[in-house]
């Protein structure tokens, strides 16, 4: 398995604090030692930093913590491989260009059968179920919207929600999907979110004895809002809302814009499938 972190704010913000917590799980406090990745949006363009080595000891991850890049939208991932090998092409997040913007995707869980689904246009660089699932999503979007990316995120969310629950019936499918403005976050079996807004109190990372006041740290004015999503809560003394399996959240500018809830009794993963631990 692996861990995900997504962040979307009302203005460019420093993701250093949250990434530090995630990076420590990349081999030091957690077992997620097979690679890490960080996508930082600047408008519709995502810079993506990837390594197939543990995040906590990575010179590049250290460099990024020490030379933070401000971003309004970010997706990070640390990986414990369950499918595929530890190599750069299997490292999340994955990125593609669609209609003049980068789309970024990261997955937690396993979808053991998704690679049986044929791809017509998209192709995977690596051999993970996760990247293949991203390609399946991209082809579904193309089928639904043609070469254009939908302006209305609620239209897009509906497709991601339905496809998420379809693929999630055959595995575990926690994912983050970002498009430069919006962060879509699907809970398969474990996803938490928190919204940070002024007044910022001191929050403490669960993985390190680090405390920080967001108000000070972000140099933020009173309008900053920041939504964070993670497979496990990253901090103490913040309220993390646990997602219900099958739920899709849509965040923008630090706010929760929309929620898609599954039918009552939805259960992730078919009984025939034993998800990886």
Does position 123 bind a second copy by CB under 8 A? yes
Contact criterion met (CB below 8 Å) for 92 and 178: no
CB nearer to a second copy: give 137 or 248.
137
State the minimum distance, in angstroms, from the CB of residue 236 to a second copy. Answer: 32
Does position 63 bind a second copy by CB under 8 A? yes
Task: Work out the number of other CB atoms within 10 angstroms of the CB of residue 256.
Answer: 15
Does position 125 bind a second copy by CB under 8 A? yes
Does position 118 bind a second copy by CB under 8 A? no
Catalytic residue of the set 2, 87, 135, 187: 2
Q: How far apart, in Å, are the Cα atoms of 50 and each of 98, 173, 230, 240, 241?
A: 21, 21, 19, 27, 29
Site string (70-89) toward a second copy, x via CB under 8 A: -----------------xxx
Residue from 31, 85, 97, 216 in contact with a second copy (CB under 8 A): 97
Q: How far apart, in Å, are the Cα atoms of 228 and each of 22, 76, 101, 137?
A: 12, 11, 22, 23
CB nearer to a second copy: give 147 or 264.
147
Does position 151 bind a second copy by CB under 8 A? no
Whether 2 sits among the annotated catalytic residues: the reply is yes
Does position 195 bind a second copy by CB under 8 A? no
DSSP string, 218-258: TT--TT--EEEEESS--EESS--EEPPTT-EEEEETTEEEE
Residue from 70, 86, 98, 273 in contact with a second copy (CB under 8 A): 98
| Token code pair at residue 107 | 């997955």
What are the beta bridge partners of residue 105? 94, 177
Task: Work out the number of other CB atoms within 10 angstroms of the CB of residue 161.
Answer: 21
In degrees, to the nearest 5, what angle opens at C-alpha 274 toward C-alphas 271 and 276? 150
* Binding residue count for a second copy, defined by CB under 8 A: 29
Contact criterion met (CB below 8 Å) for 106 and 94: yes
Residue from 68, 126, 233, 275 in contact with a second copy (CB under 8 A): 126
What are the beta bridge partners of residue 177? 105, 184
Does position 100 bind a second copy by CB under 8 A? yes
Positions touching a second copy (CB under 8 A) are 42-45, 47-48, 50, 59-60, 63, 67, 87-89, 96-102, 120-126, 147
Active-site amino acid positions: 2
């Amino acid at each position: 398995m692996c861990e995900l972190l997504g962040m979307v704010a009302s203005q460019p913000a420093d993701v250093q604090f949250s990434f530090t917590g995630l990076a420590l799980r990349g081999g030091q406090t957690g077992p997620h030692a097979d690679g890490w990745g960080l996508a930082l949006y600047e408008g519709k363009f995502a810079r993506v930093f990837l390594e197939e080595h543990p995040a906590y000891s990575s010179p590049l991850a250290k460099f990024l913590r020490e030379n933070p890049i401000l971003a309004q939208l970010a997706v990070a991932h640390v990986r414990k491989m369950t499918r595929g090998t530890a190599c750069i092409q299997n490292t999340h997040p994955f990125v593609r260009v669609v209609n003049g913007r980068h789309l970024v995707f990261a997955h937690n869980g396993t979808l053991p059968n998704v690679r049986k689904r044929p791809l017509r246009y998209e192709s995977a660089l690596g051999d993970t179920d996760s990247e293949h699932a991203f390609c399946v999503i991209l082809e579904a979007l193309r089928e639904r919207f043609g070469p254009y990316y939908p302006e209305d995120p609620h239209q897009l969310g509906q497709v991601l929600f339905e496809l998420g629950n379809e693929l999630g019936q055959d595995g575990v499918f926690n994912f983050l999907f970002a498009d430069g403005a919006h962060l879509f976050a699907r809970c398969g079996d474990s996803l938490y979110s928190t919204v940070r807004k002024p007044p910022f109190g001191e929050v403490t990372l669960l993985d390190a004895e680090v405390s920080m006041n967001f108000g000070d740290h972000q140099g933020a004015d009173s309008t900053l809002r920041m939504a964070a999503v993670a497979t496990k809560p990253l901090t103490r003394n913040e309220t993390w809302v646990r997602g219900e399996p099958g739920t899709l959240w849509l965040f923008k500018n630090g706010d929760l814009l929309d929620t898609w809830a599954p039918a009552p009794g939805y259960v992730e993963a078919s009984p025939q499938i034993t998800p990886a631990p």
